[in-house]
Amino acid sequence: MAHDRLHDKLIFPEDRRISVKIKPLWLFLITLAAIGPVAVAWGQYFTLGLPQITESPQTIPAIVNDPIGFPIWIRLTHFVNFFLMVLLVRSGLSILMDHPRLYLNDHCTPGSAWLRFTPIDVPKDRIWTAKDDSRYLSPIIGLPGYRHTVGIARYWHFLSAFFWVINGLIFIALLFCTNQWKRLVPIDTKIFFDAWNVFVHYATLHLPVEPDGFYKYNPLQQLSYFGVIFLLAPTTFFTGLAMSPAIDNRFRWYPKLFGGRQCARSIHFLALLGYLGFLVPHLTMVALTGLKQNLNHIVFGTDDQNPLGLIIGAIGIFLVVLACFGAHWISWNRPRALQMGFRKLLGPLQRRFLNQMETRAEYSKAEISPYFWPNGKMPNDPAWLALQSEGFKNYRLKVFGLVENPVELSLDDIIALGKQDQITMHHCIQGWSGIAHWGGLSLERLIQHVRPLHGAGTVVFHSFGEGHYGGEYYDSLSIKNALHHQTMLAFEMNFERLNVVHGAPLRLRAENQLGYKMVKWIRAVEFVKDETSVGKGYGGKNEDDEFYPMVANI
């Protein structure tokens, strides 16, 4: 990203404070989850002493069928997983800081966050946009870090997630094609008791005799690996999908599985705590139970005391750190290549699956959000200010470009073409959501009215407002996507005339896309062949300046 003064001011804000504020009930619950079992273990230790570890752990399994050692595919997928998880966590934290509040309600009402990472209470006396609210994150922690770099962070997150899922599926497929599943999958409920007994040892700072992990895991180890692979990982995947506007507005039941879209986002974050809560003891135990031998297991698949596994393992970690520096460099020096690479690789999937899904989720009046976060820079175009001062009486929407019937429509003309109502959920790329009623002209109807010419493939929405870094705000939809039933030019919000903050006189609603596609303060609608002829040619103002994706359905 070009480092002019405007960028610098935004990306290196003066106020870089981060504070963690958690609602007392949640602090209590998380502390209880973390400390409770340890306390019970100490109680048991003081009253009953250390439990016996039943199995004679040192014996090499007699059954010839049992897995021995770590074949190359386990070692490779383990390393790839580690690498991708590092990228996922770091980019995930960058995304989180763009709306540093976690809620259990889909309205994201200020004050209702159960956890937040910002010291700022949402001001009530002025417009406070979601962009104002984003926080700075050190690039040592976040990828790419700094402030409001959500576009780039999402590329890293989704690219890693894509390969992480493939890597995970390969691992699981091979696990069940071989006998290696036996070391992970519990087949006897007794394992819970045995695992508890091991936990009592660890929690009271005792080390029980360990089996050689080359042949067999101890019960607690097996259960925690199983939990991470078969519970935690799917949870992150499915809660991740539950944040997609295309999925949520197609299948209303889907985010409900997790208690709603914001609950899914919170669970997605809690899963991160779960991974870290696993990682710390995992690494500690790897170190405590024979570091050299354990590293030979997972690096070379050998079971000896040779220091080479440790050395190569350390080099592996070093390479991951190096890759993080590489990703950081790409983020700041080749963001356009990242944007285009992503579009090439995952764009077709997004178009073929997510964009095809008809949006149909509807909410009830009672579910309308009491507060709807605003975003974007208010227009200060004299033409818009003049129109506003007259209540938009003289507003004319210009529809032009590759159409048979170019028109200029007043608000009354637009209303006369037919009004459609819907109560839908808005998904901002930054992470917040909100439910509102929208009334307006369906784009399908407008398209019928102006009759695009053969060769017109894209609809561009021009705004009176400016982008973050100056210049006209605009965005575009493919005509195919614009034809979804819920896509409309709205002039009503919550059963009143659309107000100035939310885009008067006219704004776009495209319910299978993220909020930034939904241009407010619309000046004109233009039909073009494709997006390359408008602005810098990447499909919208945010696509041009902040490297956001052109297709925004996840």
Ligand X SMILES: Nc1nc2c(c(=O)[nH]1)N[C@H]1C(S)=C(S)[C@@H](COP(=O)(O)O)O[C@H]1N2
Interacting residues with ligand X (CB under 6 A): 372-377, 428, 463, 465, 473, 502-503, 515-516, 518-521
- What is the strand order of the sheet 472-478 is part of? 407-409, 397-401, 522-528, 458-466, 472-478
Strands 397-401 and 522-528: what pairing? parallel
**Cα-Cα-Cα-Cα dihedral sign, residues 278, 280, 283, 287:** negative
Which lies closer to ligand X via its Cβ, residue 21 or residue 377?
377
Which lies closer to ligand X via its Cβ, residue 143 or residue 428?
428
Cα 313 to the center of its chain, rounded Å: 30
Which one of ligand X, Mo ion, none interacts with residue 525, CB within 5 to 8 A by kind? none
Decide: 527 and 450 in contact? Cβ < 8 Å. Answer: yes
Cα 290 to Cα 218: distance, rounded to the nearest angstrom: 14
Which one of ligand X, Mo ion, none interacts with residue 463, CB within 5 to 8 A by kind? ligand X
**Minimum CB distance to ligand X, residue 373 (Å):** 6
Which one of ligand X, Mo ion, none interacts with residue 519, CB within 5 to 8 A by kind? ligand X
Question: Per-residue contact track with Mo ion, 317 to 356, x per CB under 5 A?
Answer: ----------------------------------------
CA distances (Å), origin 208, targets 217, 281, 296: 13, 15, 22
Helices (runs of H) and strands (runs of E) counted in the chain: 19, 15
Cα 118 to Cα 103: distance, rounded to the nearest angstrom: 14
Which one of Mo ion, ligand X, none interacts with residue 474, CB within 5 to 8 A by kind? none
Question: Per-residue contact track with Mo ion, 429 to 448, x per CB under 5 A?
Answer: x-------------------
**Minimum CB distance to ligand X, residue 521 (Å):** 5
**Minimum CB distance to ligand X, residue 427 (Å):** 8
Which lies closer to ligand X via its Cβ, residue 223 or residue 436?
436
Residues in region 365-394 near Mo ion by CB under 5 A: 375
* Cβ contacts of 518 within 8 Å, gap of 6 or more: 426, 475, 507, 508, 509, 510
Task: For tokens 């021995």, name the residue.
Answer: 68
Which one of Mo ion, ligand X, none interacts with residue 549, CB within 5 to 8 A by kind? none
Using the contact rule CB under 5 A, the part of the chain among 49-57, 308-316, 449-457, 509-517 near Mo ion is: 509-517
**Minimum CB distance to ligand X, residue 182 (Å):** 49
Q: Which amino acid is at 551?
A: V
Alpha helices in 228-364 (DSSP H): 233-241, 245-248, 253-256, 261-288, 291-299, 308-333, 335-349
Cα 144 to Cα 72: distance, rounded to the nearest angstrom: 32
**Minimum CB distance to ligand X, residue 98 (Å):** 11
Cα 549 to Cα 544: distance, rounded to the nearest angstrom: 9
Which lies closer to Mo ion via its Cβ, residue 98 or residue 210?
98
Collapsing DSSP to helix, strand or coil, 490 comes out as strand
Using the contact rule CB under 5 A, the part of the chain among 85-93, 160-168, 491-499, 512-520 near Mo ion is: 512-520
Which lies closer to ligand X via its Cβ, residue 355 or residue 463?
463
Q: Per rule CB under 5 A, is residue 515 in the interface with Mo ion?
A: yes
Tokens (6 digits) for 300:
């070379």
Which one of Mo ion, ligand X, none interacts with residue 78, CB within 5 to 8 A by kind? none
Which lies closer to ligand X via its Cβ, residue 1 or residue 85?
1
Task: For tokens 């899914």, name the residue.
Answer: 264
Task: For tokens 């959920």, name the residue.
Answer: 425
Using the contact rule CB under 5 A, the part of the chain among 170-178, 293-301, 482-490, 511-519 near Mo ion is: 511-519
DSSP character at residue 423? E
Decide: 512 and 357 in contact? Cβ < 8 Å. Answer: yes
**Minimum CB distance to Mo ion, residue 429 (Å):** 5
**Minimum CB distance to ligand X, residue 493 (Å):** 8
Instruction: Check whether the bond before 51 is cis (ω within 30° of 0).
Output: no
Strands 488-493 and 433-442: what pairing? antiparallel
Using the contact rule CB under 5 A, the part of the chain among 24-32, 212-220, 293-301, 513-521 near Mo ion is: 513-521
Which lies closer to ligand X via its Cβ, residue 154 or residue 216?
154
Which lies closer to Mo ion via its Cβ, residue 473 or residue 516?
516
Cα 209 to Cα 216: distance, rounded to the nearest angstrom: 13
Residue 261 backbone phi and psi in degrees, to 5: -65, -40
Which one of ligand X, Mo ion, none interacts with residue 373, CB within 5 to 8 A by kind? ligand X
Which one of Mo ion, ligand X, none interacts with residue 274, CB within 5 to 8 A by kind? none
Q: Which of 156, 184, 152 is nearest to 77 (CA)?
A: 184
**Minimum CB distance to ligand X, residue 523 (Å):** 9
**Minimum CB distance to ligand X, residue 500 (Å):** 10
> How many residues line the site for Mo ion (CB under 5 A)?
5
Which one of Mo ion, ligand X, none interacts with residue 465, CB within 5 to 8 A by kind? ligand X
Which lies closer to Mo ion via its Cβ, residue 89 or residue 247?
247
Which lies closer to ligand X via its Cβ, residue 309 or residue 465?
465
HSE-CB at 21 with a 13 A cutoff on CA atoms is 15
Which one of Mo ion, ligand X, none interacts with residue 376, CB within 5 to 8 A by kind? ligand X
Which lies closer to ligand X via its Cβ, residue 170 or residue 378?
378
CA distances (Å), origin 242, targets 249, 255, 264: 10, 5, 6
Cα 361 to Cα 370: distance, rounded to the nearest angstrom: 19
Tokens (6 digits) for 185:
């999958």
Using the contact rule CB under 5 A, the part of the chain among 74-82, 284-292, 325-333, 515-523 near Mo ion is: 515-523
Decide: 519 and 543 in contact? Cβ < 8 Å. Answer: no
Which lies closer to ligand X via its Cβ, residue 216 or residue 502?
502
String of DSSP letters for 498-519: PPTTTTTT-EEE-TTS-GGGS-
Which lies closer to ligand X via its Cβ, residue 22 or residue 501?
501
User: Which positions lie near Mo ion, rule CB under 5 A?
Assistant: 375, 428-429, 515-516
